[in-house]
Structures are given as C-alpha cells and as structure tokens.
Amino acid sequence: MKYLLILLFSISLCRAFLCAGQDKKAPKNLKQAVNILQTATSDSIKNLIKKTPDDKLINISYPWGGQFKLVFEWINTDNEDKKIDKYLSDNGITYIPNKQAVILIAFKKHLLNQPIDEKAILKPYQDTQKKWDKEDAIRWSTDSLRGVYIPKDLQDCFKQIDKFWNDSTKRKVKSWSENHFVAEAHLGFGMWMRNNWQLWGGSRLSKYFDEIGISNPEDMSGIILTSYHRYLIGEAIRLQEQTVYYKDYWKKTGQKEVADERLKFEEYKSGDTVNYNYRWGYASERQENQWFKDSCVAKGIIIARNEKNLFIKVKILEACGKKGIVVYDSNKTLEYDKVLRKMIKPKKRIIKFGHTNKIFWFRYDDWETAD
C-alpha cells in the first residue's frame, strides 16, 4: 500500500497550484466550462493538466488530492448555481469525482488542440455509473463499494489500517503526538478514507457513525485517526468522549451560523432595491443566456421584513422576460424517503413564476442587496 503511505507522509505538489481565478457563474455545458477554464486557470495548472494522464486528472482537483477548486465549486452540493452539474447528471454522470474528471478531460483536449468528442469522453464514465448504481441499492449494508472493502465499525477500521501499514510506519505514527498524527493524516490518508470508504456518499461505515450521532465525514475520519493512534499506543479510545466533543462543536457552530445569518439579514432594509440571484433556476434558456452575459438583472424592492424567519417581502420591479422569474421550483427541494433512507426530489414538480409588480415572500438570500 505504497500509495497510502505517500498520502499520509507527503503533501501533493499539486497543492502549490491554486486556482488562479474564480467565476461566480457556473457553466451550463462542457463547451462553456472549457471557455471559462481557459481564462480562469493559471498557466501552471494548464501545464499540469496537459501532462497528467486522463485517469489521474482528478488527483489535481480539490478535494481529491489537489487544491484546484474551481471545477469542484461548480458541482459542489452547496453551490446553488449548478447548471453543469445538472447537465452531467442528465447525461448519466452522477458521481462527483467523475463529473470533475469529465470536465478536466474536455479541458485537457482543448489545451492539446484535440477535438472534444463528448460522447467518447462520457461513455466510460456512463458505463461505470451503471455498475455503481447497482451497488448503490445496497450501499448501506454491502461490505464492498467501488471495489474497496468497507469496514463495518471502528474496530474493523483498525484491522484494515493494520493491513495497510507495516511495522516501521506504525512505529513512526506511535512516535508522533496524537494531534500531530491527526493533522498530518487528515489531508492524506484521512481524505483517502473519506472518499474510498464512502463516508461522503454513504456506506455501512458511515451508517455506523450516524447511529452514534456523527454525521459529518470529516468528523468520522477524525475519530478514526484519533482512535487508531490511541489503539496503537495502548491508550483508551474514549469514543463517547470524542462523539460528545463533535456534537458540542456543531451545536456551537449552529448557534454561530444563526447569529451570522441574522447579521446578514440586517443588511436588508425596507425600501431597499435588491437584485434576484436566480436560486430557483431560470424561466427559459434565453433568460439564462442573458443572465450569463450580465444582461438580465431582475430587480425588486423590499416592502416588509420577517425577522423571526429571515424572510423579506419583495415587490418585483423588473422580471427580465415575459415568463417572469422562477420564484419556486420543487425540483430544487428535497424530501426524505424512508425506504431509500435518503433525501430525494419530490415526485411532483411545482414551479411558480413572479411577474413585474407582483409581491412574494422570499428567504432573504434569494436576493442580493444592490450596490
């Protein structure tokens, strides 16, 4: 397991290559993605992409080994402007690393002045996705996902790591302090665990942690690393103490986030003009294209505020198009499916449009304060 040792004890050279520019607008297809990357990517990253084999390109992108973040930000689950994400999902690519790989391969071909054959680029990933979709049906109980054995609990994690590392590696780990080891391993081996043991996507190991009250994959890997170090040096693992620490952290973080949100909400005053940010999507392709070119700005005026729920009542002044703006789309929401044990899109799609002079209640961050 030489690869794992490299991940643990060295930091990828790719971390030096940071994203040179960020574009707040996500592309809607591979052609737009390539055009944006051409202007937003530094020469050092372009050179790195050109000389990296296709099956290794993902390793230069965040969070899979490198620090090039732009492509990840386009399809990150926290990004509400996810046109390229939807485009790839509609083409049968739903696994985030594969989405990033497809975009980077297309960009590499552009940099090498090669034709970009989308069907040829997508085909191997579509085939892999079909195979993985079958695995997903039993991902919460199966002992293997994506060809990697998934531990069933913390003790099983120890057994697997013991197999990965030889005695000299274990002696080195034991010579480090707990904090030093966890910090060193977090971005290397920790990332490997989060990705390959499917702590992000869901697995029997993530289910094990969910059942003891730990839901964040970063926390899961932190507990594994901390516990393994204690296991190696013969110290009590104190699992309950660790879980309480993370629960308290998120409780305090949640309180801070609420306070931060209320502070942001105070920027929205009655009588202020605001610009719509199209969080619910676009009424037409033409509207989307115009917005992408900065020629479709929907405006409104705040006429009331709900401080308890952080909502603002907005009268639409300019709706940018005959259809108006999309003020709600159920496809952008999720509901919990008890059978699948995950959040899914509602079965029935409902779309609401807002037109000039119409008034609606919105969550405050559906709009941006005008400069």
**Same domain as 325, residue 213:** no
My answer on whether 68 and 162 are in the same domain is: no
Q: Are residues 174 and 284 in the same domain?
A: no
Structure tokens at 302: 């705040």
Say if residue 128 is in the same domain as residue 9.
yes
Give the Cα separation of 174 and 168 in Å (integer): 10
Residue 255, domain member (yes or no): no
Helix (H, G, I), strand (E, B) or coil at 299: strand
pTM score of the predicted model: 0.57
Query: How many domains is the chain built from?
Result: 3
Model confidence pLDDT, tens digit, residues 91-145: 888 878 889 999 999 999 999 999 999 999 999 989 888 887 787 778 888 999 8
Query: Is 257 domain-assigned?
Result: no
Report pLDDT digits (tens) over 162-220.
999 999 999 999 999 999 999 999 888 998 999 899 998 889 999 999 999 999 999 99
Residue 258 domain-assigned? no
293 or 200, greater pLDDT? 200
Asked, for residue 266, whether it belongs to a domain, the answer is: no
Residue 304 pairs in a beta bridge with 313
pLDDT computed for residue 149 by the predictor? 96
Q: Which of 60, 59, 54, 126 is nearest to 88 (CA)?
A: 126
Say whether both 235 and 330 belong to one domain: no
Do 7 and 77 belong to one domain? yes
Instruction: Give SS3 for 33.
Output: helix
Domain boundary residue, one of 75, 109, 136: 136
- At 5 the pLDDT is 40
Residue-range definition of the domain harbouring residue 99: 2-136
The conformational region for residue 213 under phi > 0 = left, psi -120 to 50 = alpha, else beta, is left
- Residues 7, 129, single domain; the answer is yes
14 shares its domain with 111: yes
In a domain, 130, yes or no: yes
268 is a domain residue: no
Across the chain, what does the average pLDDT equal?
A: 86
